[in-house]
Structure 1
Amino acid sequence: MTGTGSDHTSTRERDIIRAFVDLSNELVDEYDVVDMLVRLTTNCAGLLDIESAGLLLADPRGVLHLVASSSERAHHLEIFQLQRDEGPCLDCFHTREAVVVPDLAAEEERWPQFSRAARSVGFQSVHALPMRLHDAVLGTLGLFGDDPGRLEDDDLALAQALVHVASVAIVNEKSAADRATVNSQLQLALTSRVVVEQAKGVIAQVGSLAMDDAFAVLRRYARDEGRKLSDVAADVVARELSGDVVLAHARAVALLP
């Protein structure tokens, strides 16, 4: 039988398979951890009934930092959450359990600053999932919705499964027991993300672009050139790669007018 519902289900199944293929490929090839985590948040935003996703990763001291987000709204809200030391993602990290908030308006007493900030940018619900590997909690994934409501259990399980695959990609099984190696991998991800943010700022300024658009331009250049996103970002920040060159490439592939 064919029909709109059947076509939608088939398309979503293909998208889910593609998301897992993307992440699983990182297990066998040399990969860019920041780009992989960005793909994770983007896939979650596309597959689930949410608007945006953001991922916080812990450094060796257990301090959380933002490493990936699917939108600038999520980016700024995650940063706000960290600055205020208040919010569902922080609670998720400390308790090692999922935090489900169908309606942020009902959580003013629990997270007064976060709840107001989230709703001020249009988010009405949030789900926070732990990023774990064995007994170590590496970080948390925040799923932000524009409408009140709880995600279906199947969607939460899908998001958690994607996070599990990403966790293994960050720290493979051979090094999972080696805490020094784990810390080194996490620190590399955090350092790389800082450089990517700086490069986004350069591209945004040179091209008079929004940060989301600047990131898309930077990422497309890295992919088309077959290079790591973090390496391209480092070259942009060091002025070894001109922002004009990156922008010209975006225009050549019709990413920009």
Structure 2
Amino acid sequence: MSNTRDQQLAATFVSLADTLVADFDVLDFLGMLTERAVELLRVDAAGVILADQRGGWRPAAASSETSGLVEVFAAQTRQGPCLDCVRTGRLVVSEDLAADTERWPQFAAFAVGAGFGAACAIPMRLRDEVIGALTLLKTASGPVEPDSISLGQALADVATIGILQQRAVTRHEIVSEQLQATLHRRTVIEQAKGVLAERGGVDMHEAYTLLRGYARVNRRRLSDVAGELANGELDATQVLAPHADTRGA
């Protein structure tokens, strides 16, 4: 392996591992993966499919327009090495796509028509979780070199860890935002209870009961009513009306 290729490989692994950046874009990330695969693995094209939220598989990136069409066609026909790869979580190889029309009737014919003679699909997986597949395509029939497959699997593994890591961070941020929003709503409700307690001469428990009762009668969210009351947009006497009626009686 030449020094230049060593440097390219090192730079690729560093790039694939760095997903914790503020402007991370998964499509750009996978596009880089396919481009580097072509540069480093002695193949002519590459593509990636990923699992979607509905349990299906969708093309996510490709090194060229033609390889992108092949991945789209594979997803549409649910045939081809990439689909078999994500179903099994294992490497799937076709050294001669023209001879694989029985295994993948529609896909093989389309891929050959697009100018490809061989394909190799590498699973993107971490333990039992398969998130997609990296497909390597050659214009000529024949095997993808074993060291290219090994290196391709290493690239796919690093990319998979990076994507899952980014997803975990995103989920954590969403949970944190939800928690902060919940705490903020709790604070607003406490403020509204204080307004009612002061204006109506009631304790905090009764203030909460009145606040909740007003929200339910008017079919509104408790936090929305509390916010308007705390901001002075809602007159406290409207919320205190049931208490005033009881006291008057």
TM-score (norm 1): 0.63
What residue is the counterpart of 1:22 in the other structure? 15
Write the distance in 2 (CA, Å) between the matches of 1:174 and 1:90. 23
**How many Å apart are 1:173 and its aligned residue?**
8.7
- Structure 1 letter corresponding to 2:148: D
Evaluate the alpha carbon distance shift between residue 134 and residue 175 of structure 1 in structure 2; reply closer, same or farther with a 3 A threshold: farther
Flag as ranges the 4+ runs of structure 1 deviating above 3 A: 173-176
Residues 1:81 and 2:81 aligned together: no
- Corresponding residue number in structure 1 for 2:50: 57
Report the Cα distance in structure 2 between the residues aligned to 1:139 and 1:18, rounded to whole angstroms: 23
The total of aligned residue pairs comes to: 172
Partner Cα separation in structure 1 for residue 18 and residue 98 of structure 2:
40
Which residues of structure 2 form unaligned runs of 5+?
A: 175-249
- What is the CA–CA distance in structure 2 between the aligned matches of 1:66 and 1:125, rounded to whole Å? 19
- How far 1:181 moved relative to its partner? 4.1
The 3-state SS of whatever aligns with 1:143 is: strand
**Corresponding residue to 1:169 among 162, 175, 192:** 162
The letter of the residue matching 2:113 is S
Q: Which residue of 1 is the match for residue 244 of structure 2? A: none
**For the pair shown, which has the larger CA radius of gyration, 1 or 2?**
2
Identity of aligned residues (%): 40
* Equivalent position of 1:90 in the other structure: 83
Counterparts of 2:132 and 2:5 in 1: how far apart (Å)?
27
Of residues 6, 12, 25, the one that matches 1:13 is: 6
Counterpart of 1:154 in 2: which secondary structure?
A: helix
SS at structure 2 position matched to 1:171: helix
Name 1:116's counterpart in structure 2: 109
Offset of residue 124 of structure 1:
0.3
Q: What is the alpha-carbon distance in structure 2 between the residues aligned to residue 12 and residue 169 of structure 1?
A: 22
Q: Flag the 1:181–1:174 CA change in 2: closer, same or farther, 3 A.
A: closer
Rounded Cα–Cα distance in structure 2 between residues aligned with 1:85 and 1:62: 13
Distance in 2 between residues matched to 1:137 and 1:153, nearest whole Å: 22
**Structure 2 counterpart of 1:232:** none
Shift of 1:29: 2.4
Deviations 1:25-81 (A, max 9, x none): 22x423211111110011001111211111000012320001111100011111111
**In 2, Cα distance between equivalents of 1:127 and 1:49:** 12
Tell me which residue corresponds to 1:159: 152
Q: TM-score, normalised by structure 2?
A: 0.65
SS in 2 for 1:97: coil
Q: Is 2:123 the partner of 1:137? A: no
Which residue in the other structure is 1:3 paired with? none
RCO greater where, 1 or 2, for CA within 8 Å and sep 6 or more? 1
Give 1:81's aligned amino acid. Answer: A
Hey, what's the Cα distance between the residues in 2 that align with 1:143 and 1:101? 10
Q: Which residue of 2 is the match for residue 205 of structure 1?
A: none
What one-letter code is carried by the residue in structure 1 that aligns with 2:110? A
Give the SS at the match of 1:172: helix
Distance 2:53 2:126 in 1: 15
Paired letter, 2:7: R
SS of the equivalent of 1:110 reads coil
Note the C-alpha offset of 1:171.
1.2
Q: CA deviation at 1:105?
A: 1.5
Match of 1:72 among 50, 65, 71: 65
* RMSD value, Cα: 2.1
Question: Residues 171 and 71 of structure 1: is their aligned pair in 2 closer, same or farther, counting only changes over 3 Å?
Answer: same
Q: Give the AA of the match of 2:32.
A: R
Letter in 2 for 1:101: S
